[in-house]
Amino acid sequence: SADGSGAQRPEPGASLPAYGRLGAPLVVAEHQLLSQSEPGCSAALPTGTAFRIDLRRGGERLRPAQDRPMRELKTLLQELGIPPWQRQRLWLLWTGNELAALLDPDSGSVLLQTPRLQGWRLRIVRR
């Protein structure tokens, strides 16, 4: 879509997958993902832990809480009231083979964050 300057805005997934490390800023298209450990909180994952940001492909599952079973991401998105056409634009943050967070680059919000990212505050800002 045009931003009024005649230039095309890149799609949110234009440069995905993207790879980063917790505690270091990661630039993805026109966004920057910031991860900061919360003061006084022992983080489940150490600073420097590798992660990957990618788009949904379907069939993803995550554990929303430590004492809860794995759930289908599709079901969780329906429960959050996110329309199907918006779901394909969301970012998934993976640590290894585990889905750890669901991010909305358009609003800059974290929609879901699993206990695996306990002690970390994630933020998306436009550059």
Domain ranges of the chain: 18-126
Q: What is the pLDDT of residue 5?
A: 42
pTM here is: 0.84
What residue ranges of the chain have pLDDT lower than 70? 1-14
Phi, psi of 115 (to 5 degrees): -60, -20
Rounded to whole angstroms, how far apart are CA atoms 123 and 63? 21
Q: Phi-psi region for residue 10, left (φ > 0), alpha (ψ -120 to 50) or beta? A: beta
Q: What is the pLDDT of residue 68?
A: 86
* CA-based nearest residue to 100, from 18, 30, 46, 45: 45
**How many residues belong to the chain?**
127
